[in-house]
Structure 1
Amino acid sequence: MRFCMVTTFYPPYSFGGDGVYVQQLSNELAKRGHQVEVVHCRDAYNLLAGRTSSTTDHDHPNVTVHSLKSPWGFLSPFATHQTGRPMLKSSRIKEILERPFDVIHYHNISLVGGPKILHYGQAVKLYTLHEYWLICPTHMLFKFNHEACTHKECLSCTLAYRRPPQLWRYTDMIEQAVKHVDLFIAPSEFTMNKHLEMGLKIPVVELPYFTSRWEWQETTPRRSSMGETPHFLFVGRLEKIKGLQELVPLFRHYERAQLWIVGVGHYEPVLRRMAQGSPNIKFLGYQSGENLRILYRQALATIVPSLWYEVFGLVILEAFSQGTPVIVRNRGGMPEIIKESGGGFVFNTDEELLDAMEQLVGDPNLREEIGRRGYEALQQKWRADLHVQRYLELVEQIVSRREEKLGGEDFVAPVYKDSWSSM
C-alpha cells in the first residue's frame, strides 16, 4: 500500500513525541513492504527552534521525505497559522496529496496546512490526535500557561501566550474540514474523551502509541550495582508545561538520590536558576541513541511530572523498554498506562511523589519487580507489530465501509459514527 504522512514536524526537524511516533510508524510500515511518503514543514521548525537542525536521521529506503522549505521562510508557517490554509506551500502540497495514495494520515497539521489541508486528496484519511490543536489555539489546553484548562477562555489565553489570534477559529472551518477525515485516532482514552467533551463531533477510536526504539539488553548494569549515586531521570522538553519547576526544589533538599535531566528548551535558564548549582541536580542536555538508552536503564525510575494533559507519554514506554519504573502525575492519558501495566506509580501531591521515590530507593527488589511489570506490559500491549496490525485493520474496515455505503464512489466521512465505538 501507499501511505502519505502529513505532519508539521519530522525528525530531525522535530521537538517531541509526535515526530518520533510518525517516524517510527513510517519505518515500521516501510519494513513490511509498504511505500511511505512524509510531508513536513522545515520552515516551521526553523521558526520555533530559532535555528536549523544540524543532525541527520536515516529512514528505511521505502520512506521518502518531502522536507518543504519556502523562499519566504518563516512567513510561510505564519501565513498558515493566520489563515488555516497551506498558502505559500499549497501548490506543492496539493501536487503531492493528489497522487494515488491508499492512505493519507494527518498528524500535527497546525503549521503545514491548517484545517484546509484536510480537504486535499481522495485516499482513506486518518488523523491522529497528538495534541489538542483542533479544540485549543495553543494546542495544549494549558490555560494562561499556568494550569490545565477546565473552562475555555481562548482569546485571552491566546494573548497571554503572546500569539496572534486566529480569526478562522471563529468560523466553521474546523467543523467542515473534519468531515473529510474517515477516522480520528486518539492515543489514549482520556484524549478521545476530552475532544468529545469539548464538543468536537468526530469518528474516533483509541489506538495507543508504541515504541520500537530499543530492545532490552541485560548486559547493561544497573546504577546501584556500579557503586555510583542513585538517580531519578527526567526526559523531555524543558518547558513550563512539563512540570520540572515542581521537581527541582524537591531534589535540592532530597538526600537519597539525584535528579538527572535530559532535554533542552526555553525554560532551561529558569530551571537552572531554581537549581542554584545544586550538586544533586544534573542537566545533561540533549541525549539520543545508546546514551539515552543507558540513562533509562540505570535510573531508579523515570519521573514524568507534566502539568498539562499529556496525550500519552512516549517516554513511559521508552523507560519500560529498559525495565525501568515510571512515576507520573495524575494528569491526562499517563495514568492509564500505569494502571494497565503496573509499571509504576501515579501521584497527586509532593507527598505521594516522595513516598513513591522512597519505596524505590529503599527496596531494590521492588524496583526490579515494577520495572519487569512495565517491560512485560510493553511486550503484550505496546509492541510495534501489534500497533501496525491494528492500524492496518482500521484501514481495511474504512475501505470496506466506503465500498458498502457508496459503491466505491468518492467519499466524505459523516460528522460522527457511533458504530466506531464498537470496534
Structure 2
Amino acid sequence: MKILQLTSHYYPNLGGVETHLQDLIRELIKMKHQVFVLTYRPLSTNSPWSIWETSQFLKVFRIPWFPGLFNKLSPYPVLEFLYLAPGLFIALPLLLIISRPQVIHSHGLVAAFAGVIWGRLFGIRVIVSTHSIYHFPSSGLYRWLARVIFESADYNLCLSNQSASELIKQGVSPQKVGRFTYWVDLDKFSPKDKLLSKKALGWSGQFVVLFVGRLVSEKGIPELLKAAKKFKSGINLKIAGSGPLEDQVKKFYIGRISQDMLSLYYSAADLTIVPSTHEEGFGRVIIESLACGTPVIAANRGAIPEAMDNTVGKLIDITPKNIIDTINHFLLHQDRLTSLSKKARTFAVSNYSNNNAGQIISAYGFPTG
C-alpha cells in the first residue's frame, strides 16, 4: 500500500513530531509499504537538507520555504497557519498525481487543511493526527475552520485524552476521534551503566539535571535559568537542543545531541527535566528518558500527566522555587531516585513499545499484521 505522510516538519528538523514520524515510517517500511513524505525544508533547525530524497520504500519531497519565521509566529496560531498552509496546499495535488497513495496521513491542523481538501477531490482516505493542544478561541472563523477540517477527515488520531476532548468539544463527531500514543525504539533507548556513561561524557562525580528540547520560552527555559542561579553547588544543569534562546543558555549548553547519542546522555543524567510552561501535547523526551531508566521532573500541565506519573518522577507546577525544591529533594534523597529509576524502564516497556504503531496502522484501514 502507498501512504503519503503530510507534515510541516520532518527530519532533519529536530523535534518530537519529526522523531515520531521517523519511528512510524520505519514501522511502515518493515511491512513493505511505500511511503511518501511531503514537507517543508527545516524551518526551526539550521541543518543541511535536500529537496528530494529517495530509497526503496521511502520518497521525501521538501518544499523550499522561508526559514526563520516559525519560532516567531508560533505564539500566533492564525499567523502560523497562514505561513505554513500555502506551500503544502499548492504542492500536494502534484505529489498525489505522482504517487497515487491510498491514504493521506496529515500531521497537525495545517497539513490537515490541505489533506482533507485534496483528499476529497482525489477520493483518498484522510487520517489526521494531532500532536498538540490547540486552545481554540471560543468563537470566530479560526474555530469554525478547525472544526470543519477535523470533521472532514475520515478519522482523527489524538495524542492525548485532552486533545481528543478538545476536538469533541469543537463539535467533531466522537466516532471520528480516537487515540494514539508515541513509542520509542526500546533497543536504542535502553539503560546504560550510569558511572560508565558519566565517565564517557566527562561528568564523573556530578549530579546532572538534563534538559533536551527546543530552546524557546514555552519550554520553560526562563524558569529553568532562574532556578539554576540558585542551585546548590553539587547540581549541574546540562542543556541540549537548538532554538532562539541558545545565547541565553550558553553557561549550560552542550549543543545538539544526535538520536544515536541521546541514550548515553539520558543514562548519564540523574534527572531529566521537562519544565514546559505551555500545554505540552505529550512530551517525547519523557518517554525517551524513562526508557533509559532516568526519572523525570515535568510540568503538571497539558498532556504530560498522561505520559508519566509520580512512580517514575515528579510532576510539579513550574516555578523556579518548585524546580529548586524538587531537585534538592532528590539530591538529598538519592535512595528515592534509585527507586524511581528502577521503575522507569519497566514503565516505558509497558507503555511505549512499537506495538503502539498498530493504533495508527489500524486507522489506515488495512491489517496491522
In structure 2, the CA distance between the partners of 1:248 and 1:350, relative to structure 1 (3 Å rule), is closer
Given the alignment of the two structures, is residue 65 of structure 1 paired with residue 60 of structure 2, yes or no? Answer: yes
- Map of 1:258-337 to 2, 5 A cutoff? 258-271=236-249, 281-337=251-307
Q: In structure 2, how many angstroms separate the alpha carbons of the residues matched to 1:85 and 1:247?
A: 33
Deviation at 1:91, TM superposition (A): 5.4
Pick from 212, 222, 237 the counterpart of residue 214 of structure 2: 237
Q: Structure 1: any 5+ residue segments left out of the alignment?
A: 137-151, 156-167, 273-280, 399-423
Q: In structure 2, how many angstroms separate the alpha carbons of the residues matched to 1:84 and 1:372?
A: 43
Q: Deviations along 1:53-104, whole A, 9 cap, x unmatched? A: 226899974221122237xx67xx9999439864x66554113235442321
Q: Which runs of 4+ in 1 moved over 6 A?
A: 55-60, 77-80
Query: 1:390 matched to which residue of 2?
Result: 359
Query: 1:211 matched to which residue of 2?
Result: 184
CA contact (8 A) 1:223 1:230 kept: no
Q: In structure 1, how many angstroms separate the alpha carbons of the residues matched to 2:53 and 2:191?
A: 23
CA contact (8 A) 2:107 2:129 kept: yes
Given the alignment of the two structures, is residue 246 of structure 1 paired with residue 208 of structure 2, yes or no? Answer: no
Deviation at 1:366, TM superposition (A): 2.6
Query: 1:228 matched to which residue of 2?
Result: 205
Given the alignment of the two structures, is residue 117 of structure 1 paired with residue 115 of structure 2, yes or no? Answer: yes
TM-score normalized by the length of structure 2: 0.81
- Matched letter for residue 190 of structure 2: W
TM-score normalized by the length of structure 1: 0.72
Q: In structure 2, how many angstroms separate the alpha carbons of the residues matched to 1:223 and 1:89?
A: 44
- Map of 1:123-272 to 2, 5 A cutoff? 123-132=124-133, 136=136, 152=137, 169=142, 172-197=144-169, 203-212=176-185, 214-219=188-193, 221=196, 223=198, 227-255=204-232, 256-271=234-249
CA contact (8 A) 2:296 2:313 kept: yes
Q: Structure 2: any 5+ residue segments left out of the alignment?
A: 74-78
CA contact (8 A) 1:190 1:333 kept: yes
Q: Which has the higher strand share?
A: 2
Aligned to 2:224, what secondary structure does the other structure show? helix
Stretch moving more, 360-369 or 176-185 = 360-369
Stretch moving more, 60-69 or 256-265 = 60-69
Q: In structure 2, how many angstroms separate the alpha carbons of the residues matched to 1:124 and 1:380?
A: 32
Stretch moving more, 24-33 or 199-208 = 199-208
CA contact (8 A) 1:300 1:361 kept: no
Aligned to 2:3, what secondary structure does the other structure show? strand
Query: 2:106 matched to which residue of 1?
Result: 106
Q: Deviations along 1:17-40, whole A, 9 cap, x unmatched? A: 111111211112112222211111
CA contact (8 A) 2:211 2:273 kept: yes
Q: In structure 2, how many angstroms separate the alpha carbons of the residues matched to 1:55 and 1:261?
A: 25
- Matched letter for residue 359 of structure 2: R
Q: In structure 1, how many angstroms separate the alpha carbons of the residues matched to 2:191 and 2:85?
A: 46
Deviation at 1:369, TM superposition (A): 2.4
Deviation at 1:309, TM superposition (A): 0.3
Name the larger-Rg structure: 1
Query: 2:76 matched to which residue of 1?
Result: none
Deviation at 1:244, TM superposition (A): 1.6
Q: In structure 1, how many angstroms separate the alpha carbons of the residues matched to 2:162 and 2:148?
A: 24
Aligned to 2:252, what secondary structure does the other structure show? strand
Query: 1:5 matched to which residue of 2?
Result: 5
In structure 2, the CA distance between the partners of 1:54 and 1:184, relative to structure 1 (3 Å rule), is same
Deviation at 1:114, TM superposition (A): 6.5
CA contact (8 A) 2:210 2:238 kept: yes
Aligned to 2:59, what secondary structure does the other structure show? strand
CA RMSD of aligned residues (A): 3.5
Q: In structure 2, how many angstroms separate the alpha carbons of the residues matched to 1:22 and 1:192?
A: 20
Given the alignment of the two structures, is residue 369 of structure 1 paired with residue 339 of structure 2, yes or no? Answer: yes
- Matched letter for residue 11 of structure 1: Y
Query: 2:48 matched to which residue of 1?
Result: 54
Aligned to 1:315, what secondary structure does the other structure show? helix
Q: In structure 1, how many angstroms separate the alpha carbons of the residues matched to 2:352 and 2:55?
A: 21
CA contact (8 A) 1:224 1:230 kept: no
Deviation at 1:190, TM superposition (A): 2.0
Q: In structure 2, how many angstroms separate the alpha carbons of the residues matched to 1:83 and 1:245?
A: 27
CA contact (8 A) 1:262 1:283 kept: yes
Query: 2:93 matched to which residue of 1?
Result: 94
Q: Deviations along 1:324-381, whole A, 9 cap, x unmatched? A: 0001111111112222x82111112555433432343234443232122121111111
In structure 2, the CA distance between the partners of 1:326 and 1:100, relative to structure 1 (3 Å rule), is same
Aligned to 2:242, what secondary structure does the other structure show? coil
